[in-house]
Amino acid sequence: MSIVTEKKQVLTNEELETLKDLQNKTQALIQELGEIELSRLQLNDRYEAAKEFLKELQATELEYTKSLSEKYGKSQINPETGEISKIE
């Protein structure tokens, strides 16, 4: 009985370089996608914070407008000069 051993085949240098290049590009893509996702999450957090700030700003503005209206009646106010003109 004879034992036949197969000689191991080895990639050519060009094939090995191509394989390594593909692996490096795949890793770079995975890293890029991860960074994009992280940026997206951070941007979403900023967006939600800005929406909350807008709600608070609108509520403050409404409250302030009501207080001015109660104090000065129906009027128009020049925000540059503070001049108040009654509206009839």
Nearest Cα neighbor of 71 from 82, 58, 56, 59 is 82
Query: Which pLDDT score is estimated for 87?
Result: 87
pTM: 0.64
Mean pLDDT on 78-88: 90
List the chain domain ranges: 13-86
Q: pLDDT for 15-66, tens place per residue? A: 999 999 999 999 999 999 999 999 999 999 999 999 999 999 999 999 999 9
Separation between Cα atoms, residue 77 and residue 79, nearest integer Å: 6
Confidence of residue 4 (pLDDT cuts 50, 70, 90): low
Mean pLDDT on 71-88: 90
Separation between Cα atoms, residue 7 and residue 54, nearest integer Å: 72
